[in-house]
Homo-oligomer: A and B are copies of this chain.
Amino acid sequence: MNAPVHPIEHLQVELSDLDWVTDAGRIARLSQDFSWFSPVLKRQLEGKQAQAVVRPRSQDEIVRLVSLCARLRVPVTVRGSGTGNYGQAVPLQGGVVLDMSGYNAFLWARDGVARAQAGIRLSELESAIRPLGWELRCVPSTWRSATLGGLYGGGFGGIGSINYGPLAARGNVLGIKAITFEAQPQVVELRGSDALQLHHMWGTNGLVLEVEVGLAPAHDWVEQLVVFDSFDAGLDFGDAVSRSTGIVKRELCFLAAPIPDYLRQLADHLPAGCHACIVAVAPASEPALQEVVAQFGGKVTCRKTAEEVRTSNRTLLEYTWNHTTLHALKVDMTLTYLQIAFTPGQHLEQVRRMEAFFAGEVLTHTEFIRNIDGHMVCTALQLVRFTSEERLREIMRLYRENGIRVNDPHVFIVEDGRAQGSLAPGALAMKRRFDPLGLLNPGKVRAWMDGVPA
């Protein structure tokens, strides 16, 4: 009688035709994401890694993998390109990391809707739909490498959310195809609101195979970097542009001093100590934008047409959202960041108040968006001069005490981040339906930390 075979070995033998990553270094890398932005997560997730990584290329491969993992009770953590910041893709309990990047076919686009397999890169999806006159409604600054499934499973929105709100706003996601994690996997299509029940759940309550999204009409966006002498001028410029319904835009962020000093690659365009806005507008809106620039005493120090962006493959948009954070951390690893949602109508006052409150310790980076309720507002990805985990928690507590919502990015439990403490009943119901064995990305959801709730 042979010794019992280790489940991972069993998987790799029985599914030997699948694309298994065997190099230890690659397994370690594919067990990581961008959670190192957080010193807390970096400490907590250190050394967590999969026992194996597999990169399926077809639904059949995924079905066979899921079936066998279910039978062998092997935990599976799904990843796209690993651009998430919350440790979504880090396996807490070993097992298999399912790298979806090989399951990446563009399926179709028509009538302002596109559908693709979860592992498609957002940049590939944009390349497929742009010749048809469409673009994605909202993408993270990581769209070059980030996947559609990753955006769906762990993302918020980003560039474009100034028009369409977050991805979670009704109508942005039309449907998904997901597979139940059991010995006899079921492939299920979820439509409309149901299709949002697996969104931003980090692959904990269902394994998503395909995503269908509403599109936006494509524009030849012109990117501009606008600098200001004062904080208020830059913020007020952002506010004015955000509220100008006749200025067609895709991105608008405000980077208060000293953040622009960290953007070394743009140093030629950023006078030391300046405040800056990055804005992408439609060509027709450039003259109106220029009027607002002049009104607030700004100066355009860099301008890139869509053609220039295409040709150079360099875009100012890769200095927005969490790319700002990335560039700053490359310069100063003692920095970390926050995620703050201001209150519509009070947001400018809140930004100014907190800028003063944490002067020099929390550096203001706001992104203008429409929120899930349709209000124009700004959200923020402030940089923080990190001193201790205790102080970081205190900073977030002080925001909350000031009546400002914090989406804590220093936690790896779904409920402790954007979900603000508890999950929707629908999300829990999906968990029971799609992961009856509790094997999907275990340890990330408090509600079933000790198994699936009844």
Task: Give the B-binding residues of A (Cβ under 8 A).
Answer: 111-113, 133, 137, 163-165, 169-172, 174, 191-193, 214-215, 217, 219-220, 242-248, 282-285, 287-289, 291-292, 345, 370, 372-376
Residue of B nearest to A249 (CB): B171
CB distance from A327 to the nearest CB of B (A): 29
Can you pick out 15 interface pairs between chain A and chain B where the beta carbons lie within 8 Å of each other?
A112-B282, A113-B284, A133-B217, A137-B246, A165-B245, A170-B292, A171-B246, A171-B248, A174-B284, A214-B284, A214-B285, A215-B284, A245-B370, A245-B374, A375-B376
* Identity of the chain B residue whose Cβ is nearest the Cβ of A369 in the assembled complex: B245
Cβ B245 vs Cβ A285 within 8 A: no
Contact between A247 and B288, CB atoms less than 8 A apart: no
Residues of B within 8 A of A111 (CB): 220, 283-284
Q: Is the CB of A374 within 8 A of B170?
A: no
CA distance A220 to B171 in the complex (A): 17
User: Among the interface residues A113, A171, A174, A242, which one has the most CB atoms of the partner chain B within 10 A?
Assistant: A171
Among residues of B, the one whose C-beta sits closest to the C-beta of A243 is: B374
Besides the contacts A170-B247, A171-B244, A174-B287, what 6 more A-B pairs have beta carbons closer than 8 Å?
A111-B284, A171-B248, A171-B287, A174-B288, A192-B288, A214-B284
Contact in complex: B242, A374 (CB < 8 Å): yes
Question: Bound state CA distance, A163 and B137, in angstroms?
Answer: 15
A287 (CB) vs chain B CBs: closest residue = B192
Asked if A245 and B169 make an inter-chain contact with CB atoms under 8 angstroms apart, the answer reads yes
How many angstroms between the C-alpha atoms of A192 and B247 in the bound complex? Answer: 12
A223 to B345 Cα, complex, angstroms: 32
Instruction: For A163, list chain B residues within 8 Å (CB).
Output: 245
10 smallest A-B Cβ distances: which pairs?
A243-B374, A171-B246, A217-B217, A165-B245, A171-B288, A112-B284, A172-B246, A169-B246, A111-B283, A214-B284
- Return A28 CB to nearest CB of chain B, in Å: 39
Residues from chain B with a CB closer than 8 A to the CB of A372 are 245
With the chains together, A3 CA to B291 CA distance in Å?
56
* Assembly CA distance A112 to B284 (angstroms): 6
Q: What's the least CB distance linking A280 to chain B, in Å?
A: 14
Give CA–CA (A446, B272) in the complex, Å.
53
Contact A246 B164 (CB under 8 A): yes
Inter-chain CA distance A376–B376, complex, in Å, is: 9
List the B side residues contacting A291 at CB < 8 Å: 170, 192-193
**Contacts known (A220-B111, A376-B375); A288 close to B245, Cβ less than 8 A:** no
- The complex places the Cα of A121 from the Cα of B453 at a distance, in Å, of 64
Q: Which residues of B contact A169 (CB under 8 A)?
A: 244-246
Cβ B171 vs Cβ A112 within 8 A: no
Which of chain B's residues have a CB closer than 8 A to the CB of A345? 345
Q: Provide the residues of chain B in CB contact with A137, threshold 8 Å.
A: 246
Kindly provide the distance from the CB of A437 to the nearest chain B CB, expressed in whole angstroms: 32
Q: What's the nearest-Cβ distance from chain B to residue A234, in Å?
A: 18
State in angstroms the CA–CA spacing of A77 and B153 once bound together: 62
Which chain B residue has the least Cβ–Cβ distance from A376? B374
Residue of B nearest to A172 (CB): B246
Q: Which of B170, B220, B292, B376 contacts A288 (CB 8 A)?
A: B170
Complex alpha-carbon distance, A289 and B375, angstroms: 19
A449–B291 Cα distance when bound, in Å, is 33
Which residue on chain B has the smallest CB distance to residue A281?
B171
Residues of B within 8 A of A288 (CB): 170-171, 174, 192
A284 to B113, CA, bound (A): 6
The minimal Cβ–Cβ distance linking A263 to chain B, given in whole angstroms, is 28
The answer to whether A112 touches B219 (Cβ under 8 A) is yes
* CB nearest neighbor in B for A247: B171
Contacts of A289 in B (CB 8 A): 171
* Minimum Cβ distance to chain B for residue A262 (Å): 31
Q: Are B374 and A244 in contact (CB under 8 A)?
A: yes
Which residue of chain B is the closest to A195 with respect to CB atoms?
B287
Tell me the smallest distance from the CB of A343 to a CB of chain B, in Å.
12
Distance, CA A163 to CA B370, complexed state (A): 13
Q: Nearest-CB distance from A99 to chain B (Å)?
A: 30
Most buried by B among A243, A246, A370: A246
Min Cβ gap A173→B in Å is: 8
- Report the bound CA distance from A165 to B245 in whole Å: 6
Chain B hits for A285, CB < 8 A: 171, 214
